[in-house]
């Protein structure tokens, strides 16, 4: 087991599968005590992955694992996450990774209000609520890391002419929520600069083909549009262990890897990942 994150307490949301599960496993492999958060404890109705499966992989590394079942769309439910983490892991949170996302794709012109509310609850309000819950303790200790997982869909579409085919036509509300998350990140970083709390956004250069992404858009992606899970995890971990000068950034995974000269490791952190 590695020791890079030894003694640190980490929260990873959306950890039942995909990027969140991979991040949680790598944190555990690097010595952290980790709280994993999602709705699916045992089995999803159609997607692979669960908190129980993620926890089973993590427990082999020897650190503490706290399993917290919570619906991030529910304010009261997500209000339990930080107190339960602190109780289970024995102290305040050092690292918060807001990875969970509601990815509901539909044209903006017909996007239902109920789904809009869910999207912004999970993608905007939940990350801020969790950040607000951990910030006081981080400021008191003079150190902390908050990383929000975003998406290239936050960028404006160039045009006219505009792309009028494929998944680009259905990303408006999802992208708007991620744009709000990016601005939220930057504002928090500006407000907290000088306290030792780093706040950054990470997004993949291309799609990471998690179980959820494969279900939504897997049949619409070319091979050159898919980024490895290992590269996304490596870049995210760098933002969870960076110096205080790296804050307020909207970073792209592969570009950050190049900028910092990182070696992309396997998900258990034991060897360089295959190219």
**Does 26 map to a domain?**
yes
CA 226 vs CA 21, 29, 46, 141: distances in Å: 18, 25, 22, 39
* 125 lies in some domain: yes
69 lies in some domain: yes
Residue 131: give its domain's CATH number: 3.40.50.720
CB < 8 Å & 24+ apart, contacts of 38-45: 38/13, 38/14, 38/69, 38/70, 38/100, 39/69, 39/70, 39/71, 39/72, 40/16, 41/67, 41/69, 44/16, 44/17
Q: Which of 98, 123, 174, 202 is catalytic?
A: 174
Does residue 103 form part of some domain?
yes
Residue 204, domain extent: 9-260
Q: Residues 6 or more apart from 224 whose CB is under 8 A from it?
A: 206
The pLDDT, as a whole number, for residue 214 is 45
Q: Is residue 121 part of a domain?
A: yes
Domain-located, residue 269: no
Look up 174 and say whether it is catalytic: yes
| Model pLDDT for residues 198-248, shown as the tens digit of each residue | 999 999 987 786 555 444 444 545 555 578 999 999 999 999 999 999 999
Average pLDDT for residues 167-178, to the nearest whole number? 92
Q: Is 273 contained in some domain?
A: no
Q: What pLDDT shows up at residue 209?
A: 60
pLDDT on residue 267 = 92
Tell me how many domains the chain contains.
1
Confirm whether 275 is domain-assigned. no
């Amino acid at each position: 087991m590695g020791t890079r994150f030894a003694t640190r307490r980490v929260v990873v949301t959306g950890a039942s599968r995909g990027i969140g599960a991979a991040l949680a496993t790598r944190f555990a492999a690097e010595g952290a005590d980790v709280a994993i958060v999602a709705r699916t404890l045992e089995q999803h109705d159609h997607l692979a992955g669960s908190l129980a499966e993620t926890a089973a992989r993590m427990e082999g590394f020897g650190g503490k694992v706290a399993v917290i079942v919570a619906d991030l769309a529910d304010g009261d439910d997500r209000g339990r996450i930080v107190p339960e983490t602190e109780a289970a892991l024995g102290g305040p949170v050092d690292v918060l990774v807001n990875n969970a996302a509601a990815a509901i794709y539909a044209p903006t012109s017909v996007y239902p209000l109920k789904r809009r509310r869910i999207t912004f609850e999970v993608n905007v309000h939940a990350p801020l609520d969790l950040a607000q819950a951990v910030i006081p303790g981080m400021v008191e200790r003079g150190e902390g890391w908050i990383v929000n997982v975003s998406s290239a869909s936050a960028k404006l579409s160039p045009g006219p002419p505009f792309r009028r085919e494929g998944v680009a036509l259905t990303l408006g509300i999802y992208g708007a929520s991620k744009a709000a998350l990016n601005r939220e990140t930057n504002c928090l970083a500006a407000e907290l600069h000088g306290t030792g709390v780093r706040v950054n956004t990470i997004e993949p250069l291309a799609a990471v083909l998690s179980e959820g992404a494969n279900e939504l858009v897997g049949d619409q992606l070319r091979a050159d549009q898919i980024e490895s899970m290992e590269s996304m995890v490596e870049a995210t971990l760098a933002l969870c262990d960076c110096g205080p000068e790296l804050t307020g950034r909207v970073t792209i995974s592969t570009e950050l890897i190049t900028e910092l000269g990182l070696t992309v490791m396997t998900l258990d952190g034991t060897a360089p990942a295959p190219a």
